[in-house]
Amino acid sequence: MATAYHRLLASDQSDQSNLSRDDLEKELDDIVEANSSPRPRFTLRRALELAILMASLMINVFLVMFIYSRPSTACQSRDMGSDPIWGVSGPLYSPAQSAIRYEKRVFDKVGIRGKYHNPPSDEKDALWESLYHMGVSWITKEEAARLPNWTEPLPSPGHQEKEHYIVNLDVFHQLHCLNFIRKALNPERYGPPGLGPPIWRDDPTPFDHTDHCVNIIRENIMCNVDITPNVWQWNPERNVIFPHFDTIRTCRSFDAVLDWARERQVQQMWNASLHLSLEHAHGL
């Protein structure tokens, strides 16, 4: 897919898009560019680099064959018996994958009333909204070409000339939905959650935004399948063995992804009714 854009990448070395491309692809690009760059083509160093690259490619191919030739165990998914958290390959491409950092976090103790808890207030509304008020993110043409599906060019002056495309990272949509549910649970402050116009032309059912949000959160919980084991400890006040949700766990850094989204935030207004040409759509 990305091979169609080699020429552009070669003339645009300083572009931010390079940050999110994986090392192997950068190495391959280096080889392609070597033919048009003023660098001497066949220094000893270059030959050595090439040999190392070929060897590493062969090892990778061997490893992939080895992994896929193993008989899969009952609880292993056939095509993706892998987990990005523990560094095994397999997840689909995201332009934000270069922003991923892992960190250990301890969740709140049950019963604690932190800054996101009820009762609602203007300050808490602002705090919740600051978690996801991100608008859409622009991505480059090369990043768009690596997505598993097409996305539209961004119809906005400035971005249009740079051939930027639109995405939004799902984490912010999920947080928006959770905030929507929070408001629905506090109708005395926010009013009863209303129904919207039907989504589909031939379906007369009004759109239930709260219900949509509950389903989105369910899908995400079941997609991410958090396998953190909660421990059960003797609670001397209650004289029972009590579960702890304030366990330590491996988390993706939210702040790191927030930084990515802020850098890629589309600042100006854009017109969603403007349909630009799809000449660079996915699959080229």
**Residue 239 contacts ligand NAG per CB under 6 A:** no
**Residue 24 contacts ligand NAG per CB under 6 A:** no
Counting residues that bind ligand NAG (by CB under 6 A) gives: 5
Which is closer to ligand NAG, CB of 73 or CB of 273? Answer: 273
Span interacting with ligand NAG, options 10-18, 137-145, 213-221, 269-277, rule CB under 6 A: 269-277
Structure tokens at 135: 């608008």
**Residue 271 contacts ligand NAG per CB under 6 A:** yes
Q: Which residues pair with 139 in a beta bridge?
A: 165
**Residue 51 contacts ligand NAG per CB under 6 A:** no
Q: How far is the CB of 173 from ligand NAG (least distance, A)?
A: 16
Q: In the window 140-179, what residues touch ligand NAG (CB under 6 A)? A: 148-149
**Residue 205 contacts ligand NAG per CB under 6 A:** no
Rg over alpha carbons for the chain, rounded to the nearest Å, is 24
**Residue 273 contacts ligand NAG per CB under 6 A:** yes
Q: How far is the CB of 97 from ligand NAG (least distance, A)?
A: 17
Span interacting with ligand NAG, options 11-19, 82-90, 117-125, 267-275, rule CB under 6 A: 267-275
Q: How far is the CB of 117 from ligand NAG (least distance, A)?
A: 36
Q: How far is the CB of 269 from ligand NAG (least distance, A)?
A: 8
**Residue 204 contacts ligand NAG per CB under 6 A:** no
**Residue 277 contacts ligand NAG per CB under 6 A:** no
Q: Distance between CA 156 and CA 274 in Å, rounded?
A: 9
Contact present, 206 and 221 (Cβ < 8 Å): no
Which is closer to ligand NAG, CB of 49 or CB of 152? Answer: 152
Which is closer to ligand NAG, CB of 150 or CB of 190? Answer: 150
Burial of residue 207 (number of CB atoms within 10 Å: 0-12, 13-18, 19+): middle
Which is closer to ligand NAG, CB of 256 or CB of 281? Answer: 281
Q: Which residues bind ligand NAG (CB under 6 A)?
A: 148-149, 271, 273-274
